[in-house]
Amino acid sequence: MNRALYTGVALAAATLVSATASAQDTVKVGIISAYSGQFADTANQIDNGIKLYMKQHGDTVAGKKIEVIRKDTGGPNPDVAKRLAQELIVRDKADILAGFTLTPEALGAAGVATEAKKLLVNMNAATSVVTEKSPYIVRVSVTLPQITETLGTWAATKGGVKKAYTMVSDFGPGIDAETGFQKAFKAAGGEIVGSVRMPVANPDFSAFVQRAKDLNPESIFVFVPGGAQPGAIGKAFAERGIDPNKIKIFSTGEPVDETAVKALGDLALGRLSAWHYDYNHKSKMNEDFVKAFNAEFKRNPDFFALGGYDGMHLIYEALKKTGGKADGDSLIAAAKGMKWESPRGPVSIDPDTRDIVQNVYIRKVEKVGGQIVNVEFDTVKDVKDPTHK
């Protein structure tokens, strides 16, 4: 072999060895989220949680550099999520899939995670069935039945009501919410006196609220998606003279989130809800989290941001347990049964279902120091998703 050819071959071999070593020293995390479209703020908040965790804990864990690759689904499109998951694994050589603003995205990527044997960290999608779609999926967010069944039981046993009317948006999450609340409320001795499913797109709430008022129920359970609708239905309650201090209004967290409560002002006072996280949660860890988040992004963290933050915690701790091994089987084994203190309180991953176990907080909207906020006054501890068999 002539000298020039020999040098070229040696150089190519050295480059290949160097590239292989470099790849082995890097763990690539592919984030699949709706970075554009109507759910862009949700995706950005998840991303903010990811960025803050990495800023606080560095980008190296168990001797491996963490590289984040972001892919935009543009909305709840399972086919796009599937294609992006394949692209991340085949072209970008991603070791872990994460993110998932919406359930269709998680369902779209589930089969890819199974086939490629890659850990998939679901940071938001809340439909119960998600974790059952692949043995490599772990969820760090919340499920709707976890919240609504807990609230239904609490309302009938501690909430001082025996009759309830339910009002939900007519799509998957709304029907899940309705089913969960009604089932638990009735099982605890309550009676559902009526129910309505409202259009998801631009509903006029006034007629629906009037129908509820005509029944004069002891209580109303509400589920509408976050965004503009919580304020709109809250104003419809006020216009129809429904006082939350006379007819108890129960909901999940979205209808009384920070944006909704600010939009409603005093009209929100007295509203009751069950949820897993609010920036007002009282703990040293959460106070530090909120302070750091505000310093970095000039806004309060929401439950989306928390999902991104805790998702990265799970990834980092799993890699520590495996000594940097990033194959799906090693990582999912490390994730099962994992416990940690989150800004929301103590959490764990159920080893059988790979789903989050966490506290559910019962809150009331009150005025504190001139601010209208959700105040936690009761805690249901260590709640599992009730729908897993």
CATH code, domain carrying 113: 3.40.50.2300
Residues 131 and 184 in one domain: no
- The arithmetic mean of pLDDT across residues 329-333, rounded, is 98
In a domain, 2, yes or no: no
Residues 101 and 205 in one domain: no
Query: Is the pLDDT reported for residue 350 higher than 60?
Result: yes
What is the predicted pLDDT for the residue at 22?
Answer: 47
Confidence of residue 186 (pLDDT cuts 50, 70, 90): very high
What is the predicted pLDDT for the residue at 23?
Answer: 54
What is the predicted pLDDT for the residue at 389?
Answer: 62
Residues 154 and 106 in one domain: no
3-state secondary structure the chain: CCHHHHHHHHHHHHHHHHHHHHHHCEEEEEEEECCCCCCHHHHHHHHHHHHHHHHHHCCEECCEEEEEEEEECCCCCHHHHHHHHHHHHHCCCCCEEEECCCHHHHHHHHHHHHHHCCEEEECCCCCHHHHHHCCCEEECCCCHHHHHHHHHHHHHHCCCCCEEEEEEECCHHHHHHHHHHHHHHHHCCCEEEEEEEECCCCCCHHHHHHHHHHHCCCEEEEECCCCCHHHHHHHHHHHCCCCCCCCEEEECCHHHCHHHHHHHHHHHCCCEEEECCCCCCCCHHHHHHHHHHHHHHCCCCCHHHHHHHHHHHHHHHHHHHHCCCCCHHHHHHHHCCCEEEECCEEEEECCCCCCEEEEEEEEEEEEECCEEEEEEEEEEEEECCCCCC
- Compare 9 and 133 and report the one with higher pLDDT: 133
Query: Is the pLDDT reported for residue 353 higher than 50?
Result: yes
Residues 129 and 158 in one domain: no
- Looking from the CA of 208 toward its CB, the CA atoms found within 13 Å total 23
| pTM, two decimal places | 0.90
Query: Is the pLDDT reported for residue 368 higher than 80?
Result: yes
In a domain, 331, yes or no: yes
In a domain, 1, yes or no: no
Residues 53 and 87 in one domain: yes
- The arithmetic mean of pLDDT across residues 15-42, rounded, is 77
Query: Is the pLDDT reported for residue 320 higher than 70?
Result: yes
Residues 159 and 259 in one domain: yes
Query: Is the pLDDT reported for residue 247 higher than 70?
Result: yes
In a domain, 388, yes or no: no
Residues 231 and 149 in one domain: yes
What is the predicted pLDDT for the residue at 201?
Answer: 76
Residues 201 and 190 in one domain: yes
- Compare 10 and 342 and report the one with higher pLDDT: 342
Condensed to tens digits (0 to 9), the pLDDT of residues 111-167 reads 999 999 999 999 999 888 999 999 999 999 999 999 999 999 999 999 999 999 999
Residues 236 and 375 in one domain: yes
Residues 44 and 12 in one domain: yes
Residues 210 and 192 in one domain: yes
| Mean pLDDT of the chain, nearest integer | 92
Query: Is the pLDDT reported for residue 369 higher than 50?
Result: yes
Confidence of residue 3 (pLDDT cuts 50, 70, 90): low
Residues 24 and 133 in one domain: yes
Query: Is the pLDDT reported for residue 275 higher than 90?
Result: yes
Query: Is the pLDDT reported for residue 295 higher than 80?
Result: yes
Domain coverage including residue 241: 145-275+360-383
Confidence of residue 250 (pLDDT cuts 50, 70, 90): very high
What is the predicted pLDDT for the residue at 12?
Answer: 46
Query: Is the pLDDT reported for residue 4 higher than 80?
Result: no
What is the predicted pLDDT for the residue at 5?
Answer: 47
What is the predicted pLDDT for the residue at 2?
Answer: 53
Residue 352's CB: how many other CB atoms inside 10 A? 10
- CB 37 within 8 Å of CB 294: no
Query: Is the pLDDT reported for residue 236 higher than 80?
Result: yes
- CB 333 within 8 Å of CB 74: no
What is the predicted pLDDT for the residue at 7?
Answer: 47
Using CA atoms in the order 3, 7, 13, 14, what is the torsion angle rounded to 10 degrees? 140
Residue with tokens 């998951």: 85
Closest C-alpha among 212, 65, 159 to residue 363 = 159
In a domain, 83, yes or no: yes
The count of domains in the chain is 2
Confidence of residue 14 (pLDDT cuts 50, 70, 90): very low
- Could you give phi then psi for residue 262, rounded to 5 degrees? -65, -40
Query: Is the pLDDT reported for residue 96 higher than 80?
Result: yes
